[in-house]
Amino acid sequence: MLREGLEKQEILKILSEKLKKDYSYKSGSILGSMCTEPFDFGVEVYMNYISKNLGDPGLFLGTAELEEELVAEIAGLLNDKNIIGTFTTGGSEANLIAMRIAKELRPDISNPEVVVPCSAHVSFDKAANLLGIKLKKANLDDNFELDLNHFESLINKNTCGVVGIAGTTSLGLIDPIEDIGKIVEDENIFFHVDAAFGGFVLPFMRYLNYKIPAWDFSVKAVDSITADPHKMGLGIIPSGGFFLRDSSILQKLGFEIPYLAGGNFKHFHIVGTRPGGTVIAFWAILKSLGINGFIEIVRECMENTQYLAACINEINGLKLATNPVMNVVGITTENNDSICKIDEKLRKKNWMVGKFEDFNLIRIVVMPHVQKIHLQNFINDLEKIVKELNIS
Ligand code: 0PR
């Protein structure tokens, strides 16, 4: 560390030089990310409130109240006005909280197990590892849909929780939440839905008349949901969301920190100090965009998704892994050629896509920063690469 500080101008110059290495959303080259440029009014609001700490809500009563108001708004989107909720560092923390609740609600089980589809996000592996839970993974069928019979067969007397996904990481698919609900509804098994991605897409797709199966609190057996502002909510990183049907669980299982300056309270979080600015910003984003603003954003993402899907269908040697349900497109090869070489060549041309080797697919997430012109350029390059590699 320097003894004498540098001039601000000099520091800013160094930073802008160093950060040139970063890829930007605006350039369109980031095609495989579930994050995007936050909504600009949210950024403006965030900058005013960066020091708010929801880890000590007794000091920031106004911020805590805004968090409650925000949960109430989202409760409307998730179809149960009586839920409680809180904002986390992301989907991983929200899923970890859900897994902990599933385990703690069943102290009678000494070797707890949770059943997830094998398309579940890696955060469930992390949570299982940290909590000493055995994760049981249910197979997918040839269309990447959950094999419900296999899922059911993995449930036994040690099962404390099950997970369904509304917007899978690899393909944006929706698990049969109602069917999973029927399997567990009379059992003492916690049912968590991971809608980290889908949470701020699916409610708006309904307004656009897409047929979306029930996936939220309208399904009686669903106990909790992850839905992340910093994905399709256009929120500021880091902001995930955890929503819970039975508010009494907070009293039972919340952690207490008795010495806080603002006084005692109960919380589920893994982190202590917790950003309030991101929550205030998301409150402002929802107020500013309204339902119609989100509908327009989702409409454009879905139009671009359909455009991309149609283009992929035209390229000899490539095919869609499955028809996109939301704004995620999986691309695979027609004759089982490895997708890795395509991914490598795409990277050389600065197209940063997601690669899922297990499923032999590359993933494009058609986020709001992805414009049609970016997709046209991408398709041109992709077509050339497929020819160069003699994929047919
Ligand atoms: N659940 C689902 C269904 C997810 O897809 C993700 C992350 C999570 C939970 C965990 O969320 P956090 O990352 O907020 O903890 N899915 C993204 C993905 O794997 C994460 C990501 C985001 C990766 C941006 C790359 C990237 O550029 O695609």
Q: Where are the domains of the chain?
A: 8-38+291-388, 40-287
Of the candidates 249, 147, 130, 256, the residue with the CA atom closest to the CA atom of residue 190? 249
Model pTM above 0.95: yes
Q: What is the DSSP letter of 307?
A: H
Q: Ligand 1 pocket check: which of 24, 96, 99, 169 to mutate, most ligand atoms within 8 Å of Cβ? A: 169
Helices then strands (H, E): number in the chain?
A: 12, 13
State the average pLDDT for the chain. 97
- The residue written with tokens 């995620």 in the block is 328
- The residue written with tokens 């690469």 in the block is 385
Ligand 1 atom with minimal separation from the 230 CA = 14
pLDDT, one tens digit per residue, over 367-392 is 999 999 999 999 999 999 999 999 87
Q: Which run of H or E residues covers position 344?
A: helix 340-348
Of the candidates 43, 35, 378, the residue with the CA atom closest to the CA atom of residue 240? 35
Strand pairing report for 361-365 and 354-356: antiparallel
CA of 190 to the centre of ligand 1 (A): 23
pLDDT, one tens digit per residue, over 167-198 is 999 999 999 999 999 999 999 999 999 999 99
Distance CA 322, CA 141 (A): 12
Q: What CATH homologous superfamily does 8-38+291-388 map to? A: Aspartate Aminotransferase, domain 1 (3.90.1150.10)
Other residues' Cβ atoms within 10 Å of the Cβ of residue 64: 19
Ligand 1 atom with minimal separation from the 363 CA = 28
**Phi and psi based region of residue 230 (left: phi greater than 0; alpha: psi -120 to 50; beta: remaining):** alpha
pLDDT, one tens digit per residue, over 222-276 is 999 999 999 999 999 999 999 999 999 999 999 999 999 999 899 999 999 999 9
Nearest protein Cα to ligand 1, atom 10: 91
Distance CA 299, CA 205 (A): 8
Please give the C-alpha separations between residue 63 and each of 117, 273, 335, in angstroms, as whole numbers.
Answer: 37, 14, 55
* The CATH fold of domain 40-287: Aspartate Aminotransferase; domain 2 (3.40.640)
CA of 145 to the centre of ligand 1 (A): 20
CA of 68 to the centre of ligand 1 (A): 25
In this structure, is the dihedral angle defined by the CA atoms of residues 379, 380, 381 and 387, taken in order, positive or negative?
Answer: positive
